[in-house]
Structure 1
Amino acid sequence: MWYTFIYIVVSPRHKTVKNKRNFTVYSGCSSMSLLRIHCLGDFRAEIDKDKILNFDTEKTRALLAYLAVESDKPLRRSYLVGLLWPEEPEERALHSLRQTLSRLRKVLGENLSKALILTERDTIQLNPQADIWVDTRVFTDWLDKAYRFYRSQKGQGFFHFRYLKRAVAVYEGQFLEQMVLNKCDLFQEWSLLMREKYNMQAIKAFSLLASYHERRGEYQLALQAALRIVALAPWDETAHAQVIYLLGLDNQWSAAQCQFLAHKNYIAEQLGVEPSEEVMRLFQQVREAASGKSVLEPRMPALPYQLPDSFSSFIGRENELDEIMEMITNPGQRLITLAGQGGIGKTQLALELAHQLVGVFADGVFFISFVAAQMPAQILPFIAEALGLVFSEEAELQTKLFDHLRNKEMLLVLDNWEHLLSFAESTTLLDNLLRLSAQITILVTSRERLNLQQENLFSLSGLGYPQDHEILLEQAGDYDSLCLFNLRAVQMRRDFVLNETNLPFVLRICRTLDGLPLGIELAAAIVFEKGYEYTATQIENDLDVLTSKITNLPARHRNLRAAFDVSWDLLKPKEQTVLSRLSMFRGGFDRHAAQQIANAGAGILSALVAKSLVQMNSNHRFYLHEAIRQFAAEKLETHADCADVQQSHARYYAAFLARKNPDLKQAGQPQALADIQQEFGNISLMWNWLVEHTCIPEIIACQDSLYQFFSVHSLIKEGMHWFDTALQKIQYAPNAELAQAVLLVRLGALAYTAHELPRAQSALLRSQEILLRHDTSDELAFCRLRLGWTYYLTKDFSAAQDYVWQSMDYFRCVEDALGESQALSVLGSICLKQGKQSEAKALFEEVLRLCRKTGNPRQLVQTLNRLGDLSCYDGHYDLAVHQFEESLVICRQLNDRYNQAILLNNLGTIYHVRNDYTQAEGFYQKSLQICREIGDQDGIALALNNLGELATQQAHYPAAIRYSEEALQIANQLQENWTIVACLNSLGEIYSHIRQLEKSQDYFIRAIRLALKIDCIDLVARVSVNLARVCQLIGDQPNAVALFRSAIAHPATEHDLREKAIGWLKEMGIDSAGEADDQLLLPLVTAYLSGEKCY
């Protein structure tokens, strides 16, 4: 196992022996799997849908089922034994319960069972907070949501049929259908009661769905639901009648006759009665229809509706459909506004909702488009036409239309209402429509909200897409925007396939368009003509490229500019001016920034939000959709004050960054980092403007905050690019020498983190030369501290200590606890490299004291990691876990994923040493996942190598070789010597285990030679113990004893290795306390490598 250190200050990876990567772990178990328990139908339990658990006894299954269904409360052990072992004496029954619990834990696995099963002395409970899916709970939850507003009386709310469908999909059969426990009457009684309860709930749900589908003319779906009722309640004559009728309607005459006979025989045998007259009459009608004497008419006439056909298939929006459907089922929300910018998909969503609601409203569902309406007088004729009403005189239109609508249960969908909002009559008309009937619901689509008291607003945003990360090809179907692009592209070219080559460009398109459906459809239509990369790049620069050649689209949907122009023309002049200025922001803004930069008062900002041109999230942060921002930016470019707005924006965010600098070095760092992250788009624009205009005072004021941000978030290459570009731009500017010096320090510090040591030292030495000519002691101390780090990495410890002590003098003089702690950290790291563990520990404990004083979270993270690593060296694993976990909590607050991966790796090594292989693997895999996501190649190699060592411990040797060889290949490509040594050592251990001793010895010798070359004593000690083991196995006892004893005595040898060496000496019958001192290891190893004797 290999630990990983975190360098203090700029956090490069420093490793100690054990592929450790310092940071703490999740509570409970890592990488927790989802346990799914099915009780409706045949009982089964599975992990993550794909691994079915096998139980050796029926009572183990019964116990898990009971715990799952009754998980809302702790269950007394005395009750459970009475439930499952009623005939056994109490002590024996309790023993049986303990054994069954043990079997259950074994099947679930140690990690899962610890988190899921809560045991006390007298009680047992399945953790109600754990990640457990129980079908009975899911079934009742969906039903509760479906019936939230449902009343059986007309007009008193509807059931949510989308939720109801999900509920019945969970219901696979009767409760614990095949589970029978002999002589367990109490359990069987409970099972019977539960079965009856869930059966009744299922019957009601299937009955509602059968009627819903029959009203919609979906007879096959209605038949499926009715058959489920008959299976659950064979005595239910109404359900039998519905099945007979639906079979007859489908011309399944023989099946209808069989159903009738089955019903007749059942009630005769079970109830001693004949079918009712109604059923007999229905069956006679079916027989006559079968013989051709009559036609079987639908029992439920189709409910009226008037909906336009949709020429394009509907994609995604499942969450939006659920939420709006819930609003519609609520009788208290009768006016719903679906608001959003042009092209966002309001009409398509409203139309899909309307189609799904056919059969729910007794008097129909009607869709009325007002895109062509120019004045309020057109509203009533449009509605009348949709309802199929014709009136001879215009004067009687309103009276007769209102008479027709009075007391109706109806859904009216009024599309494109924004054209009429400027007329007061439109508002009055909506109010009157709602007063006509308490059972009319109105769904309005509009670019602006209605501002009516009865209005319930639903703001529509773009389709989902991966926000800021790449995805695997198989994950593309999880995102609505990618699904829409794929569908439209296939319509354009049947041979289109979303693949690994075009996926990155499609992602760019969807992100640039912020999931705007109209934009995505237009992009999919031109991508074959323009090419993927060209289209993605053009959209990022000019949205006018998105123009459709399809002739039957509405004019406003043929390109994005037309959609925007409609909204722009509806704005007042002041609103137009403010909107164009707001286009200066990137990634959003708050009220204060809007006021200062765009002169956007609260009233205008609210008006733009109401018109769907500005979006506001739950944190009261505002943003513009990218398409709107680009078009508004074009308007800004024509304004005389464009340059003034740009300057205001840059100076505002430069001052913002400067204000954050003190917090970045104290306890307020997490919030300061979060604030900078939130404004990073604006900060990027600001920095480019400052550099382009050589604003030296502002550059100096905000550069350190940028450095802190880049460093903490591991954005090393990006930070180097920012500072390098700035240096090139300002090199000939007047009075820029000091600015060059401070930028060179930050560039050098980041280059050091990137392991570009020559570049780092060059930049830092140039900076020091300039700073010596200026009165800037603080910057000079900062520069020298970073120089100390670079010389530390090049193993020039003397020069490193000189630079660090020079910086230390300044930090102590001005009582800069943060600077002092960073300097002490360098000295502690030097001690570690020299094998002086006790001195290093004392230095890092002093650093910890200073860190707690300053409250700097990042420094605290790094120091706790170091101390955790030293605790591992001493075998104090509980203390190490505590230190790593405290560090990880802080690290997650900082969103420092690089160091999270390090800590997860290091926690894995502790569980590895403790032989808790399941926990260890979970941490290693999580670390590996993060490293792959952030591109940390060295971290990937270390995690793989640790997985290889773990596989070795479990005798999975082929897997171990694959892991470690892959890790070695990566380390060789990186030329990362420390990691190469770790991989060589691991491969040597594998071949030692499988007794290929010559090969093993070769790997260990290569590892020791490289460890000596890089002057890493702790690695030499580790590999020496393993080499001694090979000597023991091949019969070279003298060399084995000498190497074992010298490693045991050396202070750089870790506790677990020392224990192994002592154990192997005992195997040889030799006392570990023989003649050896802590200075013999290196001479003995050197002698062995040169072919001499170690003794």
Structure 2
Amino acid sequence: MTELLELSLLGNPELRLAGQPLPRFRSAKVYALLYYLAMTRRTQPRTVLAGLFWGDVDEHYARRNLNRTLSDLTQHLGDHLIVERQSLAFARTQPYRLDVEALEAASQLQPTPHTLPELAAAADLYRGDFLDGFYVQDAPEFEQWVLSTRLHLRTTALQLLNQLAQVCADQGDLLQAMTYTRRMLQLEPWREEAHRQLMRLLARSGQRSAALAQYELCCQALRSELDVDPDAETVELVSLIRAGSFDKMTGGQDDKMRVASVGDRIGAVIGASGSQVILPSSHPVIDSVTPPPFPHNLPGQRTPFVGRATEVADITRLLVEEEDCHLLTIIGPGGMGKTRLALKAADEIVATPALAQRFGDGIYFIPLENVNDGNEMVAAIIAAITEESGQRLRVEVPLQAHLVYLLRAKSMLLILDNFEHLISQAGLLSDLLVAVPQIKLLVTARETVGLQEAWYYPLLGLSLPQHGVAEQKTPQHEYDAVRLFVQCARRTRADFALAAERAAVLRICTLVEGMPLGIELAAAWLKVMDCQQIAQELLHGLDFLTARYQNIPPRHRSMRVVMDHSWTLLSEEERGAIARLSIFRGRFRHEAARAIAGTSLLTLAALVEKALVRVTPDGHYQLHELTRQYAEERLTSVERSSLYDAHASYYATLLHQQQPQLYTRGERDVWAAIGGELDNIRHAWDWLIVAAGSGRQDLPVPLLLRHMAEPLAAYYLFQSPGLPGQTLFGNACEALAAAGWATHDASASGPYSRQALLVHIQLYQGLFHYDSGHYRTSLAVAEQALVPCRACALEEDLLLALLLYGRTQMRRGAADEAIQSLEEALALAQRLGSIPNRAEALISLG
């Protein structure tokens, strides 16, 4: 009997014969031939197949290649092929299973509750695009067939998922409808109608914040994928949701069901035998039954919750929809708002019956800041549950056994707040989930709990305009960090107006990197100073961030107290590492951490787990600025100076290594490399300028600055034209001139003397003036540089000066002077072998 052949072609293709993977064929075209025959469902002439896979060679060789490929295929699957002299076909009379056929068959079914299981099973077959990751070289016609088939099948899958979502929504299973809609967006993130469908489903289930967050995701997807804005229908939908008027759009129906007693005002609707029927919400409600209050002990909040719509939606979804997520940990530094976020997500669940039913036995909040060990933690959980439910403590059994007894057969969510000092007791959480797997735990902590089953949600600051992005489409007042500051400011000073202090407010929020506690503590100072003064004080250190509110915990009345607590949770090795890492500005790579601060990947990982270092999406590491300031205070002046020297040397060398790629096809990689490290490069540059001004002899300042100057100037000229580069180089010129570098240095000669370096930097400053159209200034710089360049035989700088002088004179209309200078520059560039400058001279000469 012929064995069953299974072809799974949706996603990465897989072949099985009698349940076992087939041996690997020697060529991708063997697989391609099988896939094509199985999919086309008809007899294929050999001439057609030869042209399909070997259309670029002589017909004789194409036929011979086909025969060789067919031989490999029939060796293992001969019974599943019909091989004729002039044609080939797939043997459909033999046992086989093809996932594509099952998908297409299901797409022909009428979507009803009865066909729902079959439709769902077919949708599960779609693991990914048709033949995803499979490629055949030198077969363009086959690849074109794959692409068209892929598009057709993806459309089929999207239609099927949409039908499933509609059926589930009609049945009131909104969570499953959301799952199918999200799968549609995984396939095509730019599908705007799917975003709208998910927004409606979220709004119907009462998740208004999640619906608004989905709109933001829709905008991001449309901009990144298609560079378009949402259409009018989507904008109208989000406006209705934001205004709380979603039911108006659906004809007054909020799509929920109500319970009505049979008898009064039911009209023609009569229950067959019972006393209740289910009526749509548009029907008049008769004798509506008030459900019992949902059991919880969530504390009320004194101030409104601001922002974090995406985070609230994410956490709610993970807790309610992800069945495998039993232990979710929100991790972040102290003051980041972990507790408020956990409580807001819990409030959303409690307020939404469709979500609350997942935790029918209640949601309980257990603060742990005053709990010292595992037994006290278990006792605190028991106390929270029994106090709310009225159950009595069974003192005759151990605490952990009693907790398991209380939670047996219960569907609960337990929120364990401030868990970081109990990390050594995390095994109790694992034991509890094994004993009562139907409960879920939401933990807030400053570090990971170290359990294999734990899921993690790292929490960053509130949203801010992107650093370095000139044009921001979102109005400033809509960023969460700014909104929180304005809210706090108006409590402190009722007449506060954002418009009057917009720039300073943004500066404050940026300095604390959107940290909610930092924003609140800063805004409290509006009693005695304005926002500009607050921003200036923030530059002087952490001690400014203090408030004296009596009804907030002492641990949140000062940023230093928050940091002190985090410091006590570190080992000596970790304290030393975080202090040394404080010399970095912004993002840094692990190679730099190892080379400069002597920090291993293992130690970096430990600091990431403690939420003191975060990993950026592109693989860099970064300290929160307030953490960095606190850690830097732990360095002695000698340690700090030594580390900054190493930091400057490292980044100067890094820039110097990029120089050979300047003005080549690889310069895009250079710009990316410099841009990714720009904060640290600028800091290294500033440190070297300060070192130059102090007259230090133990650091090769001229050498390091010369290594940095050209790549850094080129980056600003080509990637960030305008004031940033002009300001950076202008400040450097002023500082070096003030330190006496303009005078001849008898102790050194050549390009690494102090005078030569100043001329070098001044020439790039002249280029910035030229680029900005300040031709009089750029001409003066060039004329001033020509004298020392000729006198000291600084040929490379002389070449730059000649080019700058010639190009500037050409712009000013002095053609004779320009041509003379540019021709001299051309000859010098040829002698020095400087191809980019030779090209520049030729272009300028026309």
Q: Same fold judged by TM-score > 0.5?
A: yes
RMSD over aligned Cα atoms: 3.5
Distance in 2 (alpha carbons) for counterparts of 1:495 and 1:725: 40
Q: Judge conservation of contact 1:384–1:390 (CA < 8 Å) in 2.
A: no
Q: Judge conservation of contact 2:259–2:276 (CA < 8 Å) in 1.
A: no
For 1:537-590, what per-residue CA distance to the aligned partner results, in whole angstroms no more than 9, with x for missing partners?
111332321211211111111111111110011111111111111111111110
Q: 1:758 is matched with which residue? A: 776
Q: 1:92 is matched with which residue? A: none
Matches within 5 A, 1:298-337: 298=289, 300-328=291-319, 329-337=321-329
User: What is the Cα deviation at residue 282 of structure 1?
Assistant: 11
Distance in 2 (alpha carbons) for counterparts of 1:559 and 1:470: 34
* Matched residue type, 1:670: R
Percent of aligned pairs sharing the same letter: 29
Distance in 1 (alpha carbons) for counterparts of 2:276 and 2:734: 94
Match of 1:345 among 330, 334, 337: 337
Q: 2:792 is matched with which residue? A: 774
* Matched residue type, 1:391: L
Q: 1:377 is matched with which residue? A: 375
Q: 2:532 aligned with 1:533, yes or no?
A: yes
Sort the Cα spacing of 1:524 and 1:774 in 2 relative to 1 into closer, same or farther, 3 A. same
Match of 2:817 among 785, 793, 799: 799
For 1:732-759, what per-residue CA distance to the aligned partner results, in whole angstroms no more than 9, with x for missing partners?
2444121122122212222222222222
Instruction: Point out where structure 1 has 5 or more consecutive residues left out of the alignment.
Output: 1-124, 130-134, 152-161, 172-219, 231-238, 249-255, 268-273, 284-288, 291-295, 829-1095
Q: Judge conservation of contact 1:407–1:436 (CA < 8 Å) in 2.
A: no
Q: 2:122 is matched with which residue? A: none
Sort the Cα spacing of 1:394 and 1:491 in 2 relative to 1 into closer, same or farther, 3 A. farther
Q: Judge conservation of contact 2:166–2:177 (CA < 8 Å) in 1.
A: no
Q: 2:411 is matched with which residue? A: 409
User: What is the Cα deviation at residue 705 of structure 1?
Assistant: 1.2
Q: 2:384 aligned with 1:386, yes or no?
A: yes
Q: 2:712 is matched with which residue? A: 706
For 1:579-624, what per-residue CA distance to the aligned partner results, in whole angstroms no more than 9, with x for missing partners?
1111111111100110111111111111111000011123221001
Q: 2:272 aligned with 1:276, yes or no?
A: yes
* Matched residue type, 1:505: A
User: What is the Cα deviation at residue 393 of structure 1?
Assistant: 2.4
2:791 aligned counterpart, secondary structure: coil
User: What is the Cα deviation at residue 228 of structure 1?
Assistant: 5.3
User: What is the Cα deviation at residue 355 of structure 1?
Assistant: 1.5
Q: 2:726 aligned with 1:697, yes or no?
A: no
Q: 2:752 aligned with 1:720, yes or no?
A: no
Q: Judge conservation of contact 2:313–2:345 (CA < 8 Å) in 1.
A: no
Q: Judge conservation of contact 1:664–1:673 (CA < 8 Å) in 2.
A: no
Sort the Cα spacing of 1:669 and 1:142 in 2 relative to 1 into closer, same or farther, 3 A. farther
* Matched residue type, 1:649: H
* Matched residue type, 2:345: L
* Matched residue type, 1:409: S
Distance in 2 (alpha carbons) for counterparts of 1:507 and 1:565: 27
Distance in 2 (alpha carbons) for counterparts of 1:783 and 1:691: 23
Q: 1:484 is matched with which residue? A: 484
Q: 2:755 aligned with 1:737, yes or no?
A: yes
Distance in 2 (alpha carbons) for counterparts of 1:142 and 1:821: 67
* Matched residue type, 1:727: C
Distance in 2 (alpha carbons) for counterparts of 1:580 and 1:725: 29
Matches within 5 A, 1:897-936: none
Q: Judge conservation of contact 1:410–1:439 (CA < 8 Å) in 2.
A: yes
Q: Judge conservation of contact 2:588–2:622 (CA < 8 Å) in 1.
A: yes
Distance in 2 (alpha carbons) for counterparts of 1:170 and 1:383: 34
Q: 1:682 is matched with which residue? A: 680
Q: Judge conservation of contact 1:149–1:331 (CA < 8 Å) in 2.
A: no
Q: 1:244 is matched with which residue? A: 260
Q: 1:398 is matched with which residue? A: 400
Q: 2:200 aligned with 1:166, yes or no?
A: yes
User: What is the Cα deviation at residue 381 of structure 1?
Assistant: 0.9
2:627 aligned counterpart, secondary structure: helix
1:568 aligned counterpart, secondary structure: helix
For 1:102-122, what per-residue CA distance to the aligned partner results, in whole angstroms no more than 9, with x for missing partners?
xxxxxxxxxxxxxxxxxxxxx
Please report the TM-score for the alignment, with normalisation by the length of structure 1.
Answer: 0.51
Matches within 5 A, 1:803-814: 803-814=821-832
For 1:135-160, what per-residue CA distance to the aligned partner results, in whole angstroms no more than 9, with x for missing partners?
98998699799427989xxxxxxxxx
Distance in 1 (alpha carbons) for counterparts of 2:682 and 2:416: 43
2:830 aligned counterpart, secondary structure: helix
Q: 1:494 is matched with which residue? A: 494
Sort the Cα spacing of 1:794 and 1:229 in 2 relative to 1 into closer, same or farther, 3 A. closer
Sort the Cα spacing of 1:136 and 1:808 in 2 relative to 1 into closer, same or farther, 3 A. same
Q: 1:784 is matched with which residue? A: 802
Q: Judge conservation of contact 2:204–2:255 (CA < 8 Å) in 1.
A: no
Q: Judge conservation of contact 2:375–2:399 (CA < 8 Å) in 1.
A: no
For 1:3-44, what per-residue CA distance to the aligned partner results, in whole angstroms no more than 9, with x for missing partners?
xxxxxxxxxxxxxxxxxxxxxxxxxxxxxxxxxxxxxxxxxx
Q: Judge conservation of contact 1:333–1:456 (CA < 8 Å) in 2.
A: yes
Q: Judge conservation of contact 1:575–1:608 (CA < 8 Å) in 2.
A: yes
1:320 aligned counterpart, secondary structure: helix
* Matched residue type, 1:766: Q
Sort the Cα spacing of 1:568 and 1:409 in 2 relative to 1 into closer, same or farther, 3 A. same
Distance in 2 (alpha carbons) for counterparts of 1:597 and 1:324: 38
* Matched residue type, 1:400: H
- Which protein is bigger by CA-based radius of gyration? 1
Matches within 5 A, 1:60-139: none
Matches within 5 A, 1:500-899: 501-636=500-635, 638=636, 640-694=638-692, 695-731=701-737, 732-733=740-741, 734=745, 735-828=753-846
Distance in 2 (alpha carbons) for counterparts of 1:441 and 1:447: 20
2:549 aligned counterpart, secondary structure: coil
Sort the Cα spacing of 1:510 and 1:804 in 2 relative to 1 into closer, same or farther, 3 A. same
For 1:711-744, what per-residue CA distance to the aligned partner results, in whole angstroms no more than 9, with x for missing partners?
1134443333333333333342444121122122
Distance in 1 (alpha carbons) for counterparts of 2:406 and 2:572: 43
Distance in 1 (alpha carbons) for counterparts of 2:663 and 2:163: 49
Match of 1:147 among 173, 176, 190: 176
Q: Judge conservation of contact 1:316–1:480 (CA < 8 Å) in 2.
A: yes
Distance in 1 (alpha carbons) for counterparts of 2:168 and 2:766: 58
Distance in 1 (alpha carbons) for counterparts of 2:802 and 2:677: 32
1:413 aligned counterpart, secondary structure: strand
Sort the Cα spacing of 1:140 and 1:680 in 2 relative to 1 into closer, same or farther, 3 A. farther
Sort the Cα spacing of 1:137 and 1:652 in 2 relative to 1 into closer, same or farther, 3 A. farther
1:693 aligned counterpart, secondary structure: helix
Q: 1:945 is matched with which residue? A: none
Distance in 2 (alpha carbons) for counterparts of 1:739 and 1:627: 36
Sort the Cα spacing of 1:163 and 1:493 in 2 relative to 1 into closer, same or farther, 3 A. farther
Q: 1:109 is matched with which residue? A: none
Q: Judge conservation of contact 2:259–2:288 (CA < 8 Å) in 1.
A: no
Number of aligned residue pairs: 597
User: What is the Cα deviation at residue 769 of structure 1?
Assistant: 0.8
Sort the Cα spacing of 1:819 and 1:281 in 2 relative to 1 into closer, same or farther, 3 A. closer
User: What is the Cα deviation at residue 486 of structure 1?
Assistant: 1.7
1:313 aligned counterpart, secondary structure: coil
Q: Judge conservation of contact 2:462–2:516 (CA < 8 Å) in 1.
A: yes
Q: Judge conservation of contact 2:786–2:798 (CA < 8 Å) in 1.
A: yes
Sort the Cα spacing of 1:164 and 1:396 in 2 relative to 1 into closer, same or farther, 3 A. farther
Q: Judge conservation of contact 2:656–2:711 (CA < 8 Å) in 1.
A: yes
Q: Judge conservation of contact 1:467–1:511 (CA < 8 Å) in 2.
A: no
Q: Judge conservation of contact 1:771–1:779 (CA < 8 Å) in 2.
A: yes
Q: 1:357 is matched with which residue? A: 349
User: What is the Cα deviation at residue 394 of structure 1?
Assistant: 6.7
Sort the Cα spacing of 1:704 and 1:280 in 2 relative to 1 into closer, same or farther, 3 A. closer
* Matched residue type, 2:798: L
Distance in 2 (alpha carbons) for counterparts of 1:430 and 1:439: 13
Sort the Cα spacing of 1:392 and 1:436 in 2 relative to 1 into closer, same or farther, 3 A. closer
